[in-house]
Amino acid sequence: MIDVKMWGRALEQMPRLSQSEWQALDPVAKWLIACRASVLFMTFTAAALGGLMAWRAGSFQWDLWLATVLGLMFAHATNNLLNDYTDSRRGVDKDNYYRNQYGVHVLEDGLMNERQFWRYLGATAAIALLLGGWLIVQRSGLTLELMLAGAFFVLFYTWPLKYYGLGEPAVLLVWGPLMVGGSYYVLAGEWSADVTWISLVFALGPTTVLFGKHTDKLAADRHKSIHTLPVILGERASRHAIAGMLCA
At residue 77, the pLDDT reads 97
124, 81 Cβ separation under 8 angstroms: yes
At residue 89, the pLDDT reads 83
Percent of the chain with pLDDT over 90: 73
At residue 226, the pLDDT reads 92
At residue 99, the pLDDT reads 61
At residue 109, the pLDDT reads 76
- Out of 68-72, 96-100, 228-232, pick the least confident: 96-100
> Could you give the C-alpha distances from 115 to 122, 151, 196, in angstroms and in order?
10, 23, 40
Residue 140 has pLDDT above 80, yes or no: yes
The DSSP secondary structure of 159-204, one letter per residue, reads IIITTBT-HHHHHHHIIIIIIIIHHHHHHHSS--HHHHHHHHHHHH
What's the mean pLDDT in 109-120? Answer: 90
- For 151-195, the pLDDT digits (tens) are 999 999 988 999 999 999 999 999 999 999 999 999 999 999 999
At residue 57, the pLDDT reads 95
Question: CA 24 to CA 18: how far, in whole Å?
Answer: 10
Chain-centre distance of CA 52, in angstroms? 21
Residue 240 has pLDDT above 80, yes or no: yes
- For 74-106, the pLDDT digits (tens) are 999 999 999 888 887 887 767 655 566 666 778
According to DSSP, residue 38 is labeled G
pLDDT confidence tier of residue 16, bands split at 50, 70 and 90: confident
Surface-to-core class of residue 27, CB atoms within 10 Å of its CB (0-12 exposed, 13-18 middle, 19+ buried): exposed
According to DSSP, residue 120 is labeled H
Whose CA is closest to 181, among 195, 194, 201? 195
Provide the total of helices (H) and of strands (E) in the chain, helices listed first.
14, 0
> Could you give the C-alpha distances from 52 to 9, 175, 178, 187, 199, in angstroms and in order?
28, 15, 16, 10, 12
- For residue 103, the one-letter residue type is G
94, 220 Cβ separation under 8 angstroms: no
At residue 98, the pLDDT reads 58
At residue 1, the pLDDT reads 74
Residue 219 has pLDDT above 60, yes or no: yes
At residue 68, the pLDDT reads 98
At residue 181, the pLDDT reads 97
What is the number of other CB atoms lying within 10 angstroms of the CB of residue 242? 18
